[in-house]
Amino acid sequence: MKVKEVIVVEGRDDTVAIKRAVDADTIETNGSAINESTLRQIELAQQRRGVIILTDPDYPGERIRKIIENRVNGCKHAFLTKKEALSKRGGNLGVENASPDSIRQALQDIREQYDAPEEMITRQDLLQAGLIAGPLARQRREKLGEKLKIGYANGKQLHRRLQTFHIQAQEFAEALSEVFKEEEGQ
């Protein structure tokens, strides 16, 4: 599988994992130490070829994603679940641990960032669905993020991602229904 866009990853091991899965070029942020020079490279890549951000599904990875999306408009986003990015030994979490199949699937399920989102799903909708408060809110958000291919997010971030990626009410409702069905089955 050849990827036309440049994939932004955190480090060299992530680049190795990407190249095992697909034919693609990468830009490495060197972890959360992303600097001005790297941001300029990402801006140029976005102008010339497009950019896909694929960072670790953890706090530093989300921080890097946010820094880039605030600076570079129109990025595409690929997400791995924590389960897909978890090391088989040692509990290390990162893109470098994902299987080639998981990486290819994440790149097929990319989401595009849009600038001026209109609110389609409200915070009240999230509250009523038990995604913001309650004992199961965190687990529900994690499962919903997996089903919608938008990654894990806290309540505020989830609302923003639903808007940013233009998740439609029906798509949201269907994914939420699956989450509730899985809860009942447990």
pTM over 0.85: no
pLDDT at 26: 97
Taking only the tens place, the pLDDT of each residue in 9-60 is 999 999 999 999 999 999 999 988 899 999 999 999 999 999 999 999 999 9
Considering the domain architecture, whether residues 20 and 81 belong to the same structural domain is answered as yes
- What is the pLDDT averaged over residues 78-87? 91
Q: How many domains does the chain have?
A: 2
Considering the domain architecture, whether residues 37 and 103 belong to the same structural domain is answered as yes
Considering the domain architecture, whether residues 78 and 132 belong to the same structural domain is answered as no
Domain range for 12 is 1-113
* More confident site: 108 or 92: 108
> Which among 113, 128, 160 is the end of a domain?
113
Considering the domain architecture, whether residues 3 and 84 belong to the same structural domain is answered as yes
> Which among 113, 146, 161 is the end of a domain?
113
98, 131 in Cβ contact below 8 A?
Answer: no
C-alpha 76/C-alpha 171 separation (Å) is: 19
Tokens of 51: 């950019």
Considering the domain architecture, whether residues 167 and 184 belong to the same structural domain is answered as yes
pLDDT at 114: 67
Q: Which domain CATH number covers 5?
A: 3.40.1360.10
